[in-house]
Amino acid sequence: MSNRVVQGRMVTPERLAELIEGESVLEAESIEDADRECPDCGGDVVRVGYMPSVTAFVTGYKCQECDWSETDAE
């Protein structure tokens, strides 16, 4: 498992992907450190690769301290 604490809560990869995507996802990989800082608060950013649908794979980024997130999706 690679559960991580995000905004004070322990989240699974699937839960983190849902937070980023705003809806449920099909599958998520392990959560990893993104080696970047949040542009909003300077906090640590984690990343997770996930499939929002059967034909798509995106990498999502999420700050561990605040609401900031983004994806590499078009």
Residue ranges binding Zn ion (CB under 5 A) = 38, 40-41, 43, 63, 65-66, 68
Q: Which is nearer to Zn ion, 40 or 72 (CB)?
A: 40
Is the separation of the CB atoms in 28 and 50 below 8 Å?
yes
Q: Which is nearer to Zn ion, 14 or 70 (CB)?
A: 70
Q: Could you tell me the smallest distance in angstroms from the CB atom of residue 65 to Zn ion?
A: 5
Q: Which residues have CB under 8 Å from 7's CB, separation 6+?
A: 64, 65, 66, 67
Q: Which is nearer to Zn ion, 14 or 65 (CB)?
A: 65
Distance of CA 32 to the CA centre of its chain: 9
